[in-house]
Amino acid sequence: MIENEQHEIELSQAARKIAQTAREIADGAHIVLTAMKWHRGHEVADLDNFWLTLTSDKQAVTEHFPNEWLEAFGRSDTDARVAQRLSSMVEALAPPPEPHPTGILLG
């Protein structure tokens, strides 16, 4: 039982680090995150995996983060899979480019 509790603590610590990294990526992309939420799936098969929802003022995106990714990130504070997933999530929150008055898209 203690082993499981320790594992949950380690996953929670990694989840916090991942959330901080998401905020840093969003800040770098000039996207304001209004909310971040970790949750577990509703299906029994999903209970061992985490889902992260990032929300901006206009939209939200939710992606799956397997425990193995959290474990790897927790050990090294970096994981290419996590970085790629966070980058694509933040990119999905970016507002579409605004049309230029001449009709040319800028972006």
- Token representation of residue 3: 């082993």
First vs last Cα of the chain: how many Å apart?
Answer: 53
Convert the pLDDT of each residue in 49-70 to its tens digit.
Answer: 889 999 998 899 999 999 899 9
Residue 104 or residue 33, greater confidence: 33
Q: Model pTM?
A: 0.81
Domain boundaries, the chain: 2-93
Secondary structure of the chain in HEC code, one letter for each residue: CHHHHHHHHHHHHHHHHHHHHHHHHHHHCCCCCCEEEEEECCCHHHCCCEEEEEECCCCEEEEEECHHHHHHHHHHCCCHHHHHHHHHHHHHHCCCCCECCCCCECC
Convert the pLDDT of each residue in 28-42 to its tens digit.
Answer: 999 999 999 998 866
